[in-house]
Amino acid sequence: MVIQTHFNNGFATYFANEKGRIAAQISMKDGKYSGFSIVPLIMDMQGSQAGLLFLLDWVTKRAKSPILADIKYPLLVDFGFQHDELGLVWDPSMDVEEVEPVVMFS
């Protein structure tokens, strides 16, 4: 898969292209939370699960910060996000387990 990025009016949209077609896309904006240089808020996720996992892994490895989102919490948990004191963080090595719902900030 190939990653393409488009920036427009404070939004970054990342596309995973596979064999000439868009497999997935994620749109984000900077949450500008104190203490972090970049805290992206996921505004939209579309595409195949494999494409989204590829994009989430690529984006979060480069962001090096907590991910907060205004999409459904269970979806993020399904994709390997876990909640800790900093917010939602991506760690594919962590076991996904049932957790209490948390408030998502946007």
Can you give the pTM of this predicted structure?
0.59
| Residue 103: per-residue pLDDT | 39
Separation of alpha carbons 42 and 63, rounded Å: 12
Separation of alpha carbons 2 and 106, rounded Å: 29
For 99, how many CA atoms within 13 A lie in the half-sphere containing its CB? 18
Tokens of 77: 């948990």
How many Å separate Cα 58 from the centre of its chain?
9
For residue 28, what is the enclosing H or E element? strand 21-30
For domain 2-90, the CATH architecture is: 3-Layer(aba) Sandwich (3.40)
Separation of alpha carbons 74 and 81, rounded Å: 9
* Domain regions of the chain by residue span: 2-90
**How confident is the model over 13-62, as pLDDT tens digits?**
899 988 889 999 988 876 665 555 556 677 888 888 888 888 887 877 76
Bridge partners, 15 (sequence order): 4, 25
| Residue 31: per-residue pLDDT | 64
Residue written as tokens 């979806």?
75
